[in-house]
């Protein structure tokens, strides 16, 4: 049986191999302009047997899925590692996520653009069979968004409204799509306009989810009604 040290060494080796396959896949996709034509040819270009590829991924879609999952998990790990993160308001946590996520994407901008065409409707694209690899990324984000929403309800930053609050996470998903498309199309220096768009979009969403004059009016009406 393997001892603990050997298991850790083998696990690390497997992680490194999986990472090298991802990097080679991105290079191949960007150099050729399309997804590799076959696993056999791709594996051969890496001097490995086709079966070895399947040890780590069962398809190119699985490679894409892992790349996008990495964009999310690396972003979340980065912001949560900051000592001040837990002191942030929910609004600040979402801002931190977007700013850090965009920084992560900058290192892979060509790949992101190759896999998502700005001219397409993201809502249409993500439902298409060839974009199934984005489904896991969407679920990761929705889980994160719901954590923030629940925290916001506890702190009072977000108002729990009948029927509407169950759609808050969908609203934040739409917001993420807006941020992604805006960044891809942004031609400003160092994507400064994207930073501004993120701030305005997040502020608007929390103004809509937070307590408003309408909520105050409803509370006052309830108060008057209960006194009758």
Tens place of pLDDT per residue across the chain (228 aa): 567 666 666 667 778 899 999 999 999 999 999 999 999 999 999 999 999 999 999 999 999 999 999 999 999 999 999 999 999 999 999 999 999 999 999 999 999 999 886 545 544 545 555 678 888 999 999 999 999 999 999 999 999 988 888 999 999 999 999 999 999 999 999 999 999 999 999 999 999 998 764 555 555 566 556 655
Question: Taking a C-beta distance cutoff of 8 angstroms, is the pair 17, 56 a contact?
Answer: yes
Question: Taking a C-beta distance cutoff of 8 angstroms, is the pair 69, 136 a contact?
Answer: yes
Per-residue tokens: 94? 């979402």
Residue 129: what pLDDT? 59
b/e per residue 53-67 (b: at least 16 CB within 10 A): beebbeebeebbbbb
Residue 13: what pLDDT? 73
Size of the chain in residues: 228
Please enumerate in sequence order all residues whose Cβ is within 8 A of that of 155, keeping only pairs 6 or more positions apart, or say none: 89, 90
Alpha-carbon span 104 to 45, nearest angstrom: 28
Question: Taking a C-beta distance cutoff of 8 angstroms, is the pair 66, 146 a contact?
Answer: no
Residue 30: what pLDDT? 96
Residue 4: what pLDDT? 66
Question: Taking a C-beta distance cutoff of 8 angstroms, is the pair 145, 172 a contact?
Answer: yes
| Three-state DSSP class for residue 164 | coil
What phi, psi does 203 have (nearest 5°)? Answer: -60, -40
DSSP state of 196: H
pTM: 0.85
């Amino acid at each position: 049986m393997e001892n603990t040290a050997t298991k850790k060494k083998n696990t690390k080796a497997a992680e490194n191999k999986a990472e090298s396959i991802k990097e080679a896949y991105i290079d191949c996709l960007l150099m050729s302009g399309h997804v590799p034509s076959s696993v056999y040819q791709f594996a051969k270009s890496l001097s490995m047997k086709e079966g070895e590829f399947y040890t780590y991924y069962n398809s190119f879609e699985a490679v894409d899925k892992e790349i996008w999952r990495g964009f999310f998990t690396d972003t979340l790990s980065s912001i949560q590692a900051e000592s001040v993160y837990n002191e942030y308001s929910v609004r600040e946590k979402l801002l931190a996520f977007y700013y850090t996520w965009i920084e992560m994407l900058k290192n892979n901008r060509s790949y992101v653009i190759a896999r998502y065409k700005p001219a397409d409707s993201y809502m249409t694209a993500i439902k298409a069979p060839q974009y199934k690899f984005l489904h896991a990324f969407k679920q990761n984000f929705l889980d994160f968004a719901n954590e923030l929403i629940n925290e916001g309800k506890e702190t009072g930053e977000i108002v729990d409204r009948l029927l509407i609050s169950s759609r808050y996470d969908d609203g934040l998903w739409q917001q993420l799509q807006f941020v992604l498309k805006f960044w891809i199309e942004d031609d400003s220096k160092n994507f400064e306009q994207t930073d501004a768009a993120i701030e305005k979009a997040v502020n608007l969403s929390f103004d809509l989810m937070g307590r408003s004059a309408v909520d105050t009016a409803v509370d006052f009406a309830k108060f008057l009604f209960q006194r009758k």
